[in-house]
Structure 1
Amino acid sequence: MNNDDLNTLQKIMIEGKREFLEKGFKDASLRNIVKGAGVTTGAFYGYYPDKKALFEALVLPVVNGLREIFLLAQEEFDRLPKADKKENVYDYTSDEVKKFVAYIYDHFDEFKLLISCAEGTAFSDFVHNLVEIEVEYTLKFVESTGNDAMASGRATPELLHIISSAFFSAVFEVVKHDMSKEAADTYIDSLKQFFTAGWQRILNP
């Protein structure tokens, strides 16, 4: 791809992001995107078959990046010795949440697209994938540490799914409300305290 192609592609992506952020995917106009980018519709189709493909190009890298960060953290914790898992679970989780939120703020516009503008795309429920990973590794933690939360009935797979969904939904409120990073850090600290207290009640009553 030569410099002219790269320049054209960059213009299309910049205008696409602006249009999607302003109107959401469903109401975004391809005509406005190409007009704002100063290119023809034919030129647009040389890069993307439709606006859905453009939206995907804008958000898929950060979706994959966040999933990779999250999954790596889960896998690393899962490999720890049982005693370390028991002792460090809350501190480890707190540190990983900080990394998670930092990544969101490094790519805030893209997460704004995902959280507030993705209706009508395959990404409208991207949080569900994170929830599934969280539930899978929470069950592994319970089993590997010999915790009786599941056996006693204090927890069920359904409850774990609901708690995880609630947590991720709460985290992404920082995006919905356009919080500054400073405000978000304070909010997330309070959120972690709230959910940690709940997990302690379930895992160590």
Structure 2
Amino acid sequence: MCTDDLNTLQKIMAEGKKEFLDKGFKDASLRNIVKRAGVTTGAFYGYYPDKKALFEALVSPAVEGLRAMFMTAQQEFDQLTEVEKQKAIYDYSSNEVKKFIAYVYDYFDEFKLLISCAEGTDFSDFIHDLVEIEVEYTMRFMESTGNDALASGRATPELLHIISSAFFSAVFETVKHDMPREMADNYIDSLRQFFTAGWKRIFNPQ
């Protein structure tokens, strides 16, 4: 891609981000995007077939990066021995949550688009995808360590889904409400302590 093409693409993406953040995907105007980028609609179509493709280009790298990081953390923990899992579960989770929120704040605008502006796109169920991964690996943890939370009825797959949904929704409130990073870190620490107490009650009720 030549320098002129790269500059044009960067202008389109910058103005697209502003328009989506301001109006959300559904109400964003392609006409406004190309006008502010100083290009014609025809030039825009040389890069993207529609505004949906532009939105995807803006958020996909952040989404895939977070999902890859999250999956790696889950898989690495899953590979620990039973004893290692029992000892590390809460500290490991705490460290991974810190990495998670740090990544989100490194790509704050992209996650703002995902959380507040994605209605009408394929990314509107973004949090649901994370929840499904979390539930799967929570159940694997219980199975591999012989935890009786499911067998005893203290937990069900539905309850795990609700708890995980509540956690991720709460985490992304930091983005939804534009919290400064330091405030978000404090909020996430309190949130983690709250949910950890609940998980301890489910995993080890004694």
Give the TM-score, by structure 1 length. Answer: 0.99
Distance 2:75 2:122 in 1: 26
Distance 2:89 2:74 in 1: 11
Match of 1:88? 88
Paired AA for residue 51 in structure 1 = K
Distance 1:175 1:61 in 2: 18
Match of 1:56? 56
Match of 1:190? 190
Deviations 1:93-151 (A, max 9, x none): 00000000000000000000000000111101111110000000000000000100011
Distance 1:151 1:109 in 2: 43
Distance 1:157 1:112 in 2: 29
Residue 177 of structure 1, CA deviation: 0.5
Does the residue aligned with 1:141 lie in a helix, a strand or coil?
A: helix
Distance 1:157 1:96 in 2: 23
Residue 83 of structure 1, CA deviation: 0.4
Paired AA for residue 123 in structure 2 = F
1:9 and 2:9 matched: yes
Residue 42 of structure 1, CA deviation: 0.4
After TM superposition, list the pairs within 5 Å mapping 1:16-31 onto structure 2: 16-31=16-31
Aligned residues: 205
Residue 171 of structure 1, CA deviation: 0.2
Residue 51 of structure 1, CA deviation: 0.3
Match of 1:43? 43
Distance 2:70 2:64 in 1: 10
Paired AA for residue 112 in structure 1 = K
Distance 1:146 1:50 in 2: 51
Does the residue aligned with 2:121 lie in a helix, a strand or coil?
A: coil
Does the residue aligned with 2:103 lie in a helix, a strand or coil?
A: helix
Distance 1:164 1:13 in 2: 33
Paired AA for residue 174 in structure 1 = T
1:120 and 2:149 matched: no
Residue 36 of structure 1, CA deviation: 0.5
Paired AA for residue 55 in structure 1 = F
Paired AA for residue 167 in structure 1 = F
Distance 2:143 2:4 in 1: 56
Among all aligned residue pairs of Structure 1 and Structure 2, give the percentage whose two residues are the same amino acid. 79
Give the TM-score, by structure 2 length. Answer: 0.99
Distance 1:144 1:174 in 2: 33
Deviations 1:10-52 (A, max 9, x none): 0000000000000000110000000000000000000000000
Distance 1:66 1:75 in 2: 14
Distance 1:20 1:140 in 2: 39
Please report the RMSD computed on the Cα atoms of aligned residues, expressed in angstroms: 0.4
Paired AA for residue 108 in structure 1 = F
Match of 2:175? 175
Does the residue aligned with 1:124 lie in a helix, a strand or coil?
A: coil
Distance 1:80 1:128 in 2: 26
Match of 1:105? 105
Distance 2:34 2:115 in 1: 24
